[in-house]
Chains A and B, each alone.
Chain A
């Protein structure tokens, strides 16, 4: 295989994208009508790409496994979306958003891609407002902003704690318009089973209809994968139950390199695990860290008393509390980036200061914010600032207006009132920065196969900043892919329709049928969930928030053994030709069992600590992550060779011409 070519345009950083757009080939409107594009996944990236490609005139076929494209998991994103609008006049700019994202990603992302992301961020807000997305506004009727972790400006646009929902419904509405016009053909409750490659080019996919079980062939001139991240490798994560790696993994097996699989984001503010029955974890938006203060007791005996219910957190005196983020990182305090906040919580809990029954929780406390807002409001209204009951009432009303839906969600799950007692939180798997390797045009190493949104690896390096996932998904789908895909498709205008009656489609379909038959006829005694849970435990314990050589080697062997056991002992009830969720799950878990091995291998190979990847062997005396820029300033791109354990590593070296590589410090 040739050396990895990221195809980054020449020239100054700020001009690259404009210049590139001017130089790429275009497809005429008449020819666009002759070209078919498949989009797999209908979240922010897939939905926005499908809509835009259809507007441009391509014939789009869009696929999602949910019953409606509106249910893709982007819907659950809470906090907001970044854009370098500088509406607050607080010193923001495209360059600063670029710089924050590069730094936040711990210098493991591509300068050119990140700059483009920052550049188009402002268009996203304009576009979404034009679509009728109801962002939060101030009393003057203009858009409101808030600040998020790892930055010193307020550039996050939001719609209460439901920003992802509002943006996704915006993209969904854009899709609906095109579905109504017949330019998008929507296939919901369809799962992609494999990619079909003809003469070295992506030419279609095989799908399974999740209602009837039918295996179908779909051809196109290009295939776009927008299937999201693979956080469910950990079994417990904030991802939706159906979120999976299968589409991305299938293209990996057909020749697309998989980049930085071990770069995972563990989000610091999630509701802690309550028991073995737990099926998923719920995020509490990072925006809560704007007003919530994170702490554990200073003394172990107090932590123990709280765990055993003998002491209430609200009864603990101020001087007996350890606001450990404010103590360790005075400059950013509670707003340090996610990886830093997560590790700090784990450090305190491992040291014995955890505050719930399992010892794996810290407090997120709004008492100070309620008092501060209450006093401000009393002052504004000319009321008595020293009337505690009044201040509490006013303050709670403000907090409710800002975070009401999150507080309600917390109360429903935990059965405690967060206005009265501090929330308990603990880190959980949330997002995967790693993903399918793509070049500057978002094309994978398979010609004609593109990957966008969380499914690719391109913009967040080793750690993603808050409110940047929505930005990247929509940037890729609305404003990047629709240009770059044209450059590829311009050579396809004379190809004509792609037939599904070819040996390549036949072979791909047969392979899927065989796989399904094997699973259905495997009369084992363990359920698919059994395996998924076991896999999750291995990955969480040995490839989680901190990793070491011995653990990773064990993980490699254990995942492999579990995979072998899966094919011997799994049982899949029901029939293949009907609605059968167990079968759908079995096919997804089979792919996770392969990815898990590559994940551990990647983490083992990268002996430095960077971003969300913390190697215990590489830390400072104070326990902060130590990067090794001399040896690891590269993207790990893995080539499938028939077995995840023997995947071949290709390195795309990263060069930084516009920022200086520094030790990330939030102190």
Chain B
């Protein structure tokens, strides 16, 4: 396949960026999207042009590093995958592909397609944990049975990879899906009950301080989430938040 790529290039955080056009040939449909980017970068290096910077690591859809906005969609046209799992068979010979970083006020660009998502880490510092020391002398793991359905819902929420597709997709750049996934995981487990009140209040407060927008229930985040994190989690977090406020 021959493709035309329009890619966001920005030298550093405060530089002015712009879309640049590149041509690429001999793209195999079996390549992953990032392998196509590798080929482009090898080509650019040989031409003496600086390669396109992008975040990537595991290349199997679990680390959450890759973060490209492709043809107007976070992680591109396929569903339930990350950019690294997107394959070129989803495109046609002669296509023009637009590639941009995940954009949000809380995710400033570092370079080209690389953005700073440490705001997500700071939200987790505020309450994304159970306060238990690693003594190894907690009670036996089977001491508290947990209903299978609850364990599975907690697991589903916990599969969030923290990529930020929800934020990039949301017209308000809201982080509600991300935060609610963590709040829900603990809300559904007995181990999370003890600190439930503080957790939701602190995490929401930090989310607001980071400059993420509000949720207006458009549901776009759920559609683009590579792990299929459900909107139900947002509803659950809202309930948790309300009851926490009542408890004070």
Interface residues of A (CB under 8 A from B): 48, 51-52, 55, 66-71, 73, 75-76, 85, 87, 120, 123-132, 134-143, 159-160, 162, 165-166, 169, 172-174, 176-177, 179-180, 186, 188, 211, 238, 240-242, 274-275, 277-280, 282-283, 408-409, 412-413, 415, 478-479, 482, 525, 527, 529, 571, 573-574, 578-579, 581-582
Contacts and interface: CB of A to CB of B under 8 A. Distances in A.
Interface in B54-113: 55-65, 78, 80-81, 85, 87, 89, 110-111
Contacts of B50: 573-574
Contacts of B34: 279
Contact of B130 (A48, A131, A479): A131
Contact of A139 (B59, B87, B148): B148
A279 B38 contact: yes
A366 B128 CA distance: 39
Contacts of B14: none
Contacts of A278: 35
Contacts, number: 219
B19 interface: no
Interface stretch (B132-140, B169-177, B209-217, B233-241): B132-140
A478 B134 contact: yes
A408 B159 CA distance: 15
Contacts of A48: 134
B57 A240 contact: yes
Given A180-B125, A409-B85, A527 B42 contact: yes
A138 B58 contact: no
Given A165-B62, A169-B158, A174-B129, A137 B120 contact: no
Given A130-B191, A409-B85, A578-B111, A125 B148 contact: no
Contacts of A76: 58, 60, 62-63
B110 A211 contact: yes
Contacts of A141: 145-148, 151
A436 to B, nearest CB: 23
Given A67-B117, A68-B118, A188-B118, A240 B136 contact: no
B218 interface: no
Contacts of A124: 136
A143 B48 CA distance: 56
A478 B132 CA distance: 12
A283 to B, nearest CB: 8
Contacts of B128: 173, 176
Contacts of B53: 579, 581
Contacts of A132: 129-130, 154, 185-186, 189, 191-192
A278 B38 CA distance: 10
A137 B132 contact: no
Contact of A529 (B38, B57, B114, B189): B38
Given A126-B139, A127-B136, A279-B38, A527 B65 contact: no
Contacts of A211: 110
B20 interface: no
Contacts of B25: none
Contact of A137 (B35, B137, B148, B192): B148
Which 4 pairs across A and B sit closest by C-beta, in order of nearness? A141-B145, A123-B136, A173-B129, A134-B155
B138 A126 contact: yes
A113 B129 CA distance: 31
**Most chain B Cβ neighbours within 10 Å, of A71, A138, A578:** A71
28 contacts: A67-B55, A68-B64, A68-B118, A68-B120, A70-B64, A70-B121, A71-B63, A73-B57, A75-B62, A76-B58, A127-B136, A129-B191, A130-B138, A134-B151, A137-B145, A160-B155, A165-B62, A176-B121, A240-B59, A242-B57, A277-B28, A478-B136, A479-B136, A527-B42, A529-B38, A574-B51, A578-B11, A579-B111
Contacts of B35: 277-279
B234 to A, nearest CB: 19
Contacts of B49: 573
A241 B58 CA distance: 6
Given A125-B141, A140-B145, A579-B111, A176 B31 contact: no
Contacts of A177: 125, 129, 131
A186 B118 CA distance: 11
A162 B148 CA distance: 17
A82 to B, nearest CB: 14
Contacts of B139: 126, 130
Given A68-B117, A131-B130, A132-B185, A409 B51 contact: no
Nearest to A578: B12
Contact of A172 (B63, B124, B133, B137): B124
A176 B185 contact: no
